[in-house]
A and B are shown apart, each in its own frame.
Chain A
Amino acid sequence: MKKFYLMFALLISLAVLAACSSGDDEANGASGSEGSSGADSITAWAWDPAFNIAALEKAKEAYDGDVEVKIIENAQDDIIQKLNTGLSSGTTKGMPNIVLIEDYRAQSFLQAYPDAFYPLTDVINSDDFADYKIATTSFDGEQYGLPFDSGVAGLYVRTDYLEEAGYTPEDLTNITWDEYIEIGKAVKEATGKNMLTLDPNDLGQIRMMIQTNGSWYVDEDGSTPNLEGNESLAKAFETYKKMMDADIGKIVSDWSQFVGAFNSGDVASVPTGNWITPSIKQAEDQSGKWAVVPMPRLDMEGAVNASNLGGSSWYVLNVDGKEEAADFMLQTFGSNVDLYQTLVKDIGALGTYSAAAEGDAYAVEDEFFGGQQLLADLSTWTDEIPGVNYGLHTYAIEDILVTGMQDYLNGTELTKVLENVQAQAEAQLK
């Protein structure tokens, strides 16, 4: 009994002590942030320490202003939740000055919180950046985003498996998806390996396919669903089913299985965004066995062998310190060619600032990919990506499409499926 009291008293005093000591921290922290409202320091949020955060650090090094830049790492989903909660609550307290937003989500943020972002129209020159990035980073005639990394997609192939089946990477260069499937069948027969991974819950594959033909889930207005009667989408669905039927896809259900599949040599190719390079290289024993060729295109008039998956851009929030933040952006990602050279050399981050692509760093030969000038190739393909307005509802529509894809794979007629998803999307996205 006594012991019990003693313990209880001890715990209480411990808690009080802890509360007090952390209270001190609080006071310090508060006074520190008070100083920042005078904008001698700005905050930037981004994700991925090896990529975006590293890029920010390099930018900070290259920047010679008086403003202190605080770089804060948050996971992408975490940024989305924090931004939405903060912006919709109407308090700008705790919001950063600079934030990285994925291109697919940019229009949502710009339209949902119209006054929350600071236009960069007069700060940067949008012609300096890859064309395809502009539609998605601007809104209502104003340029809000500073286009950052390229989501240019490539077809990563295992040269050794191809060779076993009698192919070279050239045979896969500038082909259509139909030709890809035929090669896939031959590769599977020769090596027993699947040609690629397929995740029925993630239709990034479909997104990449339709963008080769300049098409998207929504009309150019960015909000009207464009599913029924969208020939590119229909073609992409058919192609997807063909892959399933040809049994050349290894089914995965999440990111770690996706990475696991190519790291362990289970698949002969990976069609995806260039940001996958570090993950591919993770399997050091596969050095020299990989090459990257342009993305296959949809077998349609007008489709090109270039596409995109992901990619993001920088945004400045309309809070105290916006001028300083915009200036930091201009001095670094907005104009500094040398910075882009460093980004490519040190972190392999491929920007979309066109002038940067001419530098030496892009010409470097990558031994892991058999001496290919990978960055130069990727940046050439970046310029060819058809620009589309990703609009507001990429992920909402994709969730509906996933259900549609299930129906289609289970035998429902394609026109019927697209009719259904169109109706559903129209009902849901008012």
Chain B
Amino acid sequence: MKNLKRIFIYTFLSLAALVSIFPFLWMLVSITNKSVDVTQGRLLPGSHLVENMKTLFETVDIIPALTNSAIIAVITTLLTLLLASLAGYGFEIHRSKGKDIVFNILLLSMMIPFAAIMVPLYRMFGSISDTAPLFGIDSLAAVILPTATTAFFIFFFRQNTKMFPKDLVEAGRIDGLSEIGVFFRIYMPTMKTTYAAAAIISFMNSWNNYLWPLVILQSPEKRTIPLLISNLGSSYSPDYGVIMSAIVIATLPTALVFFLMQKHFVAGMMGSVKG
């Protein structure tokens, strides 16, 4: 009985893993093939890897684009984690009627499609471009700011804070910690896995973000990786082998971030507060 259950679970997971991983594997295989083979969905590895990579690195500046994406994603993620966890914590631990209302209104902000607020947002950054070019169109700040503060992560942290044992807060206060101190020294370390999950998602969102960086960034040297890939496909006769190579390179960092962070998802983290 127990064995049967195990077999069932492993079979189920293996099947799910296979289905999930198959397009990813094909993506890896495709970078070794010629464009013609890629368009035909060839499943076997070919011998074009070196050529594809060479063309890629010769035709586009992929390294600067990766650097830009990395800078933007890291700053966005850190800002998001800090601001959203502070707010999520504040809304739940220091709960009050007024804050509940504000929280509900904040939730509204994630319900509108981004395309609808893009033009007013662009106009806003355009209007400050002359006085504060560091925050205007084509600036790093303009890419990061609207994406680094989202109700999504505040909501996420608040929901997780509901599972946070509140007596720890009291214990901290008794130990003489300030309110901010409680947050940094007790809440943060306890909620490590919540931070890990938020980091994965935030990094991924920022790394893949396309529409906003596209309209707000103008100089080619500031381009992020999704914009670069979009360009590669713009040709009348695109080279799919090269495009797939760029895509694979662009995918690896997010996969890596997940791989590093998922280690924190170890059962029984509670109680590690004492450090």
Contact = CB atoms under 8 A, between A and B. Distances in A.
B136 A15 contact: no
Contacts of B146: none
Contacts of A229: none
B219 to A, nearest CB: 6
A77 B274 CA distance: 54
B255 interface: no
- B74, B75, B218, B231, most chain A CB atoms within 10 A: B218
Given A51-B236, A78-B227, A275-B236, A4 B126 contact: no
Nearest to B126: A91
Interface in B14-73: 35-36, 38-40, 59, 71
Nearest to B137: A94
A82 B234 CA distance: 15
B242 to A, nearest CB: 11
- B188, B214, B233, B234, most chain A CB atoms within 10 A: B234
Given A93-B126, A275-B236, A282 B275 contact: no
Contacts of A88: 119
A49 B235 contact: yes
Interface string A13-28: 0110011001100110
B145 to A, nearest CB: 12
A256 B74 contact: no
A263 B41 CA distance: 13
Given A18-B74, A91-B122, A26 B133 contact: yes
A15 B236 contact: no
Interface in A87-127: 88-91, 93-94
Contacts of A282: 35-36, 237
Contacts of B231: 47, 49, 73-75, 78
Contact of A89 (B36, B119, B230, B234): B119
B240 A264 contact: no
A81 to B, nearest CB: 6
Contacts of A259: 39, 237
A91 B127 contact: yes
A264 B215 contact: no
A93 B71 contact: no
A26 B235 contact: no
A93 B134 CA distance: 14
Interface in A4-48: 4, 8, 11-12, 14-15, 18-19, 22-23, 26-27, 29-30, 33, 47-48
Contact of A49 (B59, B79, B118, B127): B59
A15 B238 CA distance: 36
A201 interface: no
A335 interface: no
Contacts of A263: 36, 39-40
Given A15-B75, A26-B134, A93-B126, A256 B215 contact: no
A200 interface: no
Contact of B123 (A18, A50, A89, A279): A89
A151 to B, nearest CB: 11
Given A50-B235, A76-B234, A19 B129 contact: no
B241 to A, nearest CB: 11
Nearest to A27: B134
Contacts of B219: 29, 33
B142 to A, nearest CB: 10
A264 B36 contact: yes
A349 to B, nearest CB: 11
A8 B231 CA distance: 36
Contacts of A11: 74, 78
A264 B127 CA distance: 52
Nearest to B275: A1
A290 to B, nearest CB: 15
Contacts of A1: 189, 274-275
A15 B78 contact: yes
Contacts of A72: 218, 220
B144 to A, nearest CB: 9
B122 A23 contact: no
Contacts of A2: 275
A94 B120 CA distance: 15
B275 A94 contact: no
A15 B76 CA distance: 9
B119 A94 contact: no
A421 to B, nearest CB: 27
Given A48-B235, A276-B237, 4 more contacts: A1-B189, A26-B139, A86-B215, A256-B240
Interface of B: 35-36, 38-40, 59, 71, 74-75, 78-79, 118-120, 122-123, 126-127, 129-130, 133-134, 136-140, 188-189, 192, 211, 214-215, 218-222, 227, 230-231, 233-238, 240, 274-275
The 9 closest A-B pairs by CB, nearest first: A1-B275, A91-B126, A75-B234, A260-B39, A89-B123, A279-B237, A30-B133, A256-B39, A47-B234
15 contacts: A15-B75, A22-B71, A23-B140, A26-B140, A29-B221, A47-B231, A48-B234, A49-B235, A72-B218, A73-B220, A78-B214, A89-B120, A255-B238, A263-B40, A283-B36
